[in-house]
Amino acid sequence: MTTPRLFGIETEYGIAREGMPEIDPVVESMELVRSYLTGPFEQSWDYTGEDPHVDQRGFRVSSLQQDREEDQFAELDSHRPFTFHEMKSDLVLTNGARFYNDHTHPEYSTPECRSLVDLVAHDRAGERIVFRAAQKRNQDLESCHVKLYKNNTDFHGHSYGCHDNYLVSRGIPFEHLSNGLMPFLVTRQIFSGAGKVGIEAQERDSAGGVFQISQRADFMETQCSVDTMHDRPILNTRDEPHADRKKYRRLHLILGDANMCEYATALKVGTTRVVLEMIERGICPSIDLDDPVAAIKTVSQNPTLTVDLPCKSRKAITAVDIQRRYVEAATKALFGTDAETDWILNEWSDVLDQLTRDRSILVGRVDWITKQWLLETFMEAENLEWTDPWLASLDLEYHNVDPEAGLFLSLETAGNSRRVCDDAQIEEAIRSGPSDTRGGIRGLCVSRFPDRIQSVQWERIFFKGGIINPKTLEMGDLFDPDQVWAVREALEQASNPASVCE
């Protein structure tokens, strides 16, 4: 594969206050993020250069549907005694991550990672960081403590995202990305879905009586779009590479669920990375689903996985068989490439086999199966039906990031989950970024030179050095591990980061 491996996850967390059905999520999210600070807030994230209107298909849209919502937000926020940047409260952490208020949700973006173990460790580090921020916040609250959920719905028609991101070659035509990814993404949920009680539509409460595979599938409305908050697409086309634009794209996927199972996170990102490599090599299977938007909902609402999905030029095919077509082609071409790729291919094939044989083996590995097992166990003990509203509250508590309250974390503590990393690796990920990516460089600069940093973007760091001659550490093409190590060593030995920029 010619394109460097690089990926990351952005997670928006659900936020609530105990005993308070109505809260101001903007203020709550802002206060939560700032609770993680050890000193006063200082604006450091630089938004210049970001343009969500540019589309990977080769054009720039004049407006987005979400622009109107942003204008409404601005009008509603006009009474608040905060500037835009104060409300965002963007923090760049010593592990290279970004932690901020995404208007109504605290959001944690991992640093860029090269390995699945690093990615899972940093995703789990995000859970602990937001929880520790909540603990500090709750020390200042006399009652109605903050609760946080790593999920994707409030069960009242509002969805928030978990976005997986990948570095992709600019040389791959977007049509090839779309054709190769669409059938895979529609069916990826069979091992990466988080599970949900009920069916929702935007701005509508959940209709109970159904258990489905994915939390986000209900909210997918079109195949491809640059929008993210309205007409949500299976394949987002926003063109913000956060890298050298001449060489790279950033594939920004907004359809995925937030996973509690480490195994599901690793398999979700790992299989997607493998499919991108297949697209680059031109070896993806050809599957033309008749209606991908309808198919993603059909798959989610049929956990038996036996429903056929209509295609345009071939007979209908099940979600499991679509995934099998991908893993078989990938195994034939890529097995033996490296240990991580072999792990992905072996586990991908195994999970597909278990989905059609003995799903109980996947408890603690696949979220929707784990949640379904928990709920069915509870229903049997309490003699409940799927229409009982009690189940929605249990669904929510599955995602609680408080180790003493979260249903999944209780299972994990009892040893009933498949781990990809250990607690020591997670704690290290809280402190430091990956040693072989620019995310680690970013974190090192924050750790060593916090007073020298003027502002930060994903692909560069601006150091204080005067208006005439500011110093910039460019990282738009810093992806080779040897080059990363060279920059790291230089920064570790430097007394002034400006010397590394020269």
Query: 309: which strand partners?
Result: 317
| Cα 463 to Cα 460: distance, rounded to the nearest angstrom | 10
Query: 253: which strand partners?
Result: 164
CB under 8 A, 24+ apart: contacts of 482-490: 484/435, 484/436, 484/437, 484/438, 484/440, 484/441, 485/435, 485/436, 487/441, 488/435, 488/440, 488/441, 488/444
The β-bridge relationship of strands 204-212 and 196-201 is antiparallel
In the DSSP assignment, the letter for residue 270 is: H
Q: What is the DSSP track for 354-398? A: HHTS-GGGGTTTSHHHHHHHHHHHHHHHHT--TT-THHHHHHHHH
Q: 10 Å Cβ neighbour count for 403?
A: 13
The β-bridge relationship of strands 98-101 and 106-109 is antiparallel
Q: Which two tokens stand for residue 464?
A: 């204080």
Q: Which residues contact 421 (CB under 8 A, 6 or more apart)?
A: 117, 120, 121, 124, 262
Query: 250: which strand partners?
Result: 167
Q: First vs last Cα of the chain: how many Å apart?
A: 31
| Cα 95 to Cα 61: distance, rounded to the nearest angstrom | 35
| Cα 160 to Cα 253: distance, rounded to the nearest angstrom | 13
| Cα 311 to Cα 294: distance, rounded to the nearest angstrom | 12
CB under 8 A, 24+ apart: contacts of 321-326: 322/183, 322/184, 322/186, 322/187, 322/287, 323/184, 323/187, 323/188, 323/190, 323/191, 323/348, 323/352, 324/352, 325/285, 325/287, 326/183, 326/184, 326/271, 326/275, 326/278, 326/284, 326/285
- 102, 164, 257, 367: which is the annotated catalytic residue? 102
Closest by Cα among 95, 171, 174 to 128: 95
Query: Is 480 among the residues known to form the active site?
Result: no
Interaxial angle between packed helices 292-300 and 174-187, expressed in degrees from 0 to 180 and rounded to the nearest 10:
20
- The catalytic residue positions are 102
